[in-house]
Amino acid sequence: MSIPATEAVTSGMSGMFGTAGTPGTAGTADKEMFLQLLVAQMRYQDPMNPTDSSQFLAQSAQFTALEKMQDVADKTAQLFQAQISFGASGLIGKTVTWNDSDGVKQTGQVKGVTFGADGPVLDVGAKDPLSIASVLSVNDGSTPTAASA
């Protein structure tokens, strides 16, 4: 049995699940592709020899499990971002050491934290914003210690 191309199977599903071409929606594109293939499989099956319903249920269960795992991964990423943010706010008043853009070791006291799209940025009075990932060492504010290599 020949099966026609499945390009015409979109049937307006992109409006329901997001657009596959939008950046940052790889999971949405995968869901849409799965549903398109599932609809195509059901549409073009042989009426005299239909697809086994247990296979359909197994595919649906796998799809649901995949969605739930993606939700857990998303929530874990949000929790990690919150933990980094709380850690950055705990640095206020502390003395930090970092290497500047020229590779020179700098030391300064954290006066504040700004939360942006790229993560927390420390305000230490430097001309360039200081990412929390650039911090080499943290001190309680009295005297800076040498950073370990």
pLDDT in tens, 97-146: 998 888 889 888 999 998 888 788 888 887 777 888 888 999 886 654 55
Taking alpha carbons only, the member of 51, 27, 25 closest to residue 38 is 51
- State the pLDDT at residue 26: 63
Sequence ranges of the chain with CATH classification 2.30.30: 87-139
Looking at residue 127, its amino acid is: K
- DSSP label at 104? -
**Fold held by 87-139:** SH3 type barrels. (2.30.30)
Residues recorded for the chain: 149
Taking alpha carbons only, the member of 39, 31, 38 closest to residue 68 is 31
Interatomic CA distance for residues 11 and 13, integer angstroms: 6
**H-helix or E-strand spanning residue 28:** helix 26-43
Interatomic CA distance for residues 6 and 28, integer angstroms: 19
pTM: 0.51
Name the average pLDDT for the chain: 75
